[in-house]
Structure 1
Amino acid sequence: MSAILFLTFLDTTIMSVALSDLQATLNTTVADMQWIVNAYAFVFASFMLTFGSLGDRYGRRRVMLAGVAVFVVGSVFGALSPNTESLIAARALMGLGAAACEPGTLSILRHVFPDRADRARALGIWAAVAGLALALGPVIGGLLVGLGGWPAIFWFNLAAGVAVFVAALSTVPESSDPESARFDIAGFVLGPVMLGTLVFAIILGETAGYTAAHVLALFAVAVATGAVFVAVELRTKAPMLRVDYLKRPAFAGSLAVAFATYFGVFSIFFLTALYLQIVLAYSAFSIATLFVPMALGMIVSSALAGRWVAESGPRIPVAVGCFAAGAGVLFTDLALRGESAPYLPLVFSLLLAGVGFGIAVVPITSVALSSIPARHSGMAASATTTAREVGTVIGVAALGSLFNTKLITFLTERLIQLDVPEEWRAVVIDAVITGKFQGAEEAQKLYGDIVAKVVTAAYDAVHSGVSLSLLVAGCVILGSGFVAYATFSAKRLALGEPDEPESPPQEA
């Protein structure tokens, strides 16, 4: 199960270092790269609760193995993708497989380890594996891209997926909830529609404008669908998500912190990698080595966080972790300023972000599980993972859109100041968005100083967009630290309340 968990979380971050290679081979734009990165996490988040419910009813091992099979098929399609559209579709298919795999890992764990002490240790390992996968994604991805280009990532997923499928056949026990009620069809439909229209509106707004009628209509559909989803989940007998549990501060707080930390920290993986590849022309291998200290920081701190939480409760550790991660993101912005990013300040910033992230993410699932009845552990596990993936999706979409909008606005204003003819402005902006302005300094020999000024403006525009996005991301993570302090307990956790008589939501 740890291998399945590792593989599904690994693919959340593994593509971040392949952006330059994708631009060179598939001519991807920033919006394209957002969809390539986001397609996986979007489908992962959209169907997490659905497959958690299906696993509870039809068998968690059965659903998990089916998910691994779908993940493998998606990997094959990804490796063979001839264009951006097919690659996005392949990533979405892999996300569907991951959504079927992940919920069962935690639900089965609770059945394998009925003793609370053993379960606490197992849960610590579970969280550490998830954090390790996220941290190693850029490192492994960089090595693979350096060896065989971006398709190597998908061939690796294929081989790893087949291996974990074979291993799971003989090692993972079956479990289910024999008292599971009927399937929540309305939630199955409304959840993905709500998230899909929201993400699509955010990304579409980059080019169409956020006041465009069709973009506003998409936002309205997302809000309306969300309201209907909540109403349905409150009334149905077998909800995918017990909305009334959100009244419990610790449970609601754990979801909010999970969302915010993943929203912000993924700016490191997406935006920093994008800047290093496009502006500073870092190779995928160079970025991989740069992310190693961050990965090590996450690994060590996540291991120590379990002991800290066991001794003092989750409030202080999670708050401190969020503050450290937020500071690391803000320091990363400072380290990227200038014509070249100094290596040591950048490493320190990434290390600080990694240490903080490792401390913060480990206890989140524990807090969620400790705040609701044990029989709904599958729901709690799926809810926290969904919050993480939704944070990733919205973070990449919103921060990527903020980056793109700031870049275009800044560059347009600078080109006007340089008296660049209007017909050439669109050409320059397109070259920047598609990463085709590297090496343009050579044109200065032929066309004079104006080319150098345009290139400088292009680099400044990219950094302006990255800087604003990192600033927002850092503030969001810092804010989550205050949420954790306000809602989490200072007492030691008991993983899962004992089952208690409850009145389930009634269907009209």
Structure 2
Amino acid sequence: MTTPIPARSTATKRITLLVVCVTTAMLMLDIAVVNTALPSIAVDLDAGVSSLQWVIDAYTLALATAVLGAGSWADRRGRRRAFVVGLVWFTGASLLCALAPTIWFLDLARAVQGIGGAVLFACSLALLADVFDRGPARASALAAYGATIGGAFAVGPLVGGLLTELLDWRAIFFVNVPIGLVTLLLTLRWVPESRDPRPRAADVPGQLLAAAGLAAFVFAVLRGHEIGWSDAQPVIAFVLAVGALVAFVAHEMRTADPMLPPHLLANRAFAGAQVAAFAISASLFAVFVYTTLYLQNVLLLSPVQAGLVYLPATVAMFVVAGATAKLDRVVPTRVSLSCSLALVAVGLLMMTVAEADSSKYVLLPGLVVACAAAGVFNPVMSGIVLGESTAAHSGLAAGINDAFRQTGIAVGVAVLGVFLPAESLLPGGSPQDFVSGLQGALVAAAFVAALGTVVCAVCLRPRPQTAPVFGDAESDTVEFPAVTG
């Protein structure tokens, strides 16, 4: 029997939602703001192509591989306590990023920052689940949370452009310090503590194997693209990646308390939701890196001008995400997610009309369509994650979802970058080569989003079911709500 959520004051609910949304915005901005700053970072720190891509991937990979362990750790130790630790860690790492003297120092600091981000991401949905009971109030909170995820990512290029152009690229990391400190004070004063009454043990071997496998895979893709696929470095890295990931699966099948419980995949709705989360991240959110470089390096827009191109799409995402709280009660989740991913694919294909001499608004129609679709996707996805788990294990559930999201971004940035010649990614590269590669990357991203559409249509078909999942204090079996569709 699931423990009921204790009554919380209106102030506690509002401030917890504020803290979660502000923190999530900060985390997502630290992926997106870097996009417009990459050309400046490349010049200032004399960065090569792969080291520049690691500025994105070091953060998202560390976040993706640590978030599962962070979720179960938060369930054990207390979500509020873990959130406070994550805020202190992330804020300190942001300061290191701002002070980075070399590109490799920045890459390492970004990995450290990603670990702090993992703790914060893993706690976010769990904190909301603790203060908002199922129903309209939780639906509205999830709509705000979903709008924050998508909106912060979309507005990130503009924020990054303003900070880079008016101050310096280091300002995109310095700004996290005051935000982190204010959020820390609010958390200590207002956010209530919650934990799992029957917590899972730490899965250190699983954590290490997952991190090694994903990092080796991304390294192999980035180095193979830069120095050649037959070179010893990418070949060895691919072998290590396959070995580590196979060992990870085998370990998770045998260990008593796996960080990614295999029986979760028996829940068709939960498993399909994770594939969908990976698909939208590996397509739309990953390709933002290259569309931003197109605006700056090919169309020669300033960082602020490039950021302004995304603004109408950001507004569309916020408006649609806010309306989703009402639509979610009348539109089946299968329809919402499938249609949103299909529209993401359409929007990405619309952007393939970009040429080396196009107008600066050439991407805008496709961006508006894709970002509006993401505005539907994010709050509905958050609702599925919480709906398919118990409140006691919501930290683990949120960690799994965020792991798939961040892995999608990391893998997407690496794989989509293969379509663009390495030399064209840096300032001064061939505009025509970049455009040809960008068009191929957009088609590939659209294909990934389309595959996600098919998975949603198949996996989220309505089917009442009882299956073992996270469990609660009295039972390891919970009744899943039927996924309407």
Q: TM exceeds 0.5?
A: yes
Which of 431, 437, 447 aligns to 1:475? It is 447
Going by fraction, where is helix more abundant, 1 or 2? 1
Residue 28 of structure 1 aligns to which amino acid in structure 2?
A
Partner of residue 13, structure 1? 32
Matches of 1:348 and 1:152, distance apart in 2: 31
Partner of residue 211, structure 2? 192
Q: How does 1:237-248 map to 2 (within 5 A)?
A: 237-248=256-267
Residue 374 of structure 1 contacts residue 497 of structure 1 at CA under 8 Å; is this kept in 2? no
The answer as to 2:214 corresponding to 1:211 is no
Partner of residue 393, structure 1? 410
Matches of 1:200 and 1:392, distance apart in 2: 14
Unpaired segments ≥5 residues, structure 1: 409-428, 438-457
Residue 381 of structure 1 aligns to which amino acid in structure 2?
A
Residue 311 of structure 1 contacts residue 492 of structure 1 at CA under 8 Å; is this kept in 2? no
Residue 297 of structure 2 contacts residue 431 of structure 2 at CA under 8 Å; is this kept in 1? no
Partner of residue 221, structure 1? 240
Q: TM-score, normalised by structure 2?
A: 0.88
> Shift of the alpha carbon at 1:503?
7.6
> Shift of the alpha carbon at 1:434?
3.3
The answer as to 2:384 corresponding to 1:384 is no
CA separation of 1:167 and 1:471: change in aligned 2, threshold 3 A:
same
Which of 83, 92, 107 aligns to 2:111? It is 92
Matches of 2:449 and 2:245, distance apart in 1: 24
Unpaired segments ≥5 residues, structure 2: 1-19, 479-485
Deviations 1:180-229 (A, max 9, x none): 14222222222211211111111111133223344233222222222222
Q: How does 1:109-148 map to 2 (within 5 A)?
A: 109-148=128-167
Partner of residue 279, structure 1? 298
Partner of residue 415, structure 1? none
Residue 119 of structure 1 aligns to which amino acid in structure 2?
R
The answer as to 2:457 corresponding to 1:485 is yes
Q: How does 1:37-76 map to 2 (within 5 A)?
A: 37-76=56-95
Matches of 2:271 and 2:396, distance apart in 1: 13
Aligned length: 456
Residue 316 of structure 1 contacts residue 490 of structure 1 at CA under 8 Å; is this kept in 2? no
The answer as to 2:14 corresponding to 1:22 is no
Partner of residue 445, structure 1? none
Matches of 2:277 and 2:117, distance apart in 1: 18
> Shift of the alpha carbon at 1:314?
0.8
Q: How does 1:70-469 map to 2 (within 5 A)?
A: 70-334=89-353, 336-337=354-355, 339-403=356-420, 407=421, 429=423, 432-436=424-428, 458-469=430-441
Residue 166 of structure 2 aligns to which amino acid in structure 1?
L
Matches of 1:362 and 1:111, distance apart in 2: 17
Matches of 2:428 and 2:102, distance apart in 1: 18
CA separation of 1:234 and 1:27: change in aligned 2, threshold 3 A:
same
Matches of 1:146 and 1:66, distance apart in 2: 32
Deviations 1:121-166 (A, max 9, x none): 3223222222222222112111111211211111111221122112
> Shift of the alpha carbon at 1:95?
0.9
CA separation of 1:172 and 1:344: change in aligned 2, threshold 3 A:
same
> Shift of the alpha carbon at 1:114?
3.5
Matches of 1:308 and 1:184, distance apart in 2: 39
Residue 400 of structure 1 contacts residue 469 of structure 1 at CA under 8 Å; is this kept in 2? yes
Which of 449, 465, 475 aligns to 1:501? It is 475
Matches of 2:395 and 2:63, distance apart in 1: 16
Matches of 2:313 and 2:409, distance apart in 1: 18
Matches of 2:184 and 2:246, distance apart in 1: 39
Q: TM-score, normalised by structure 1?
A: 0.84
Matches of 2:349 and 2:441, distance apart in 1: 10
Match of 2:327, SS state, is helix
Residue 356 of structure 1 aligns to which amino acid in structure 2?
A
CA separation of 1:115 and 1:486: change in aligned 2, threshold 3 A:
closer
Deviations 1:89-122 (A, max 9, x none): 2211211111111111211221222444433332
Residue 234 of structure 1 contacts residue 244 of structure 1 at CA under 8 Å; is this kept in 2? no
Query: Identity over the aligned pairs, expressed in percent?
Result: 30
Matches of 2:322 and 2:349, distance apart in 1: 25
Residue 369 of structure 2 aligns to which amino acid in structure 1?
L
> Shift of the alpha carbon at 1:402?
2.7
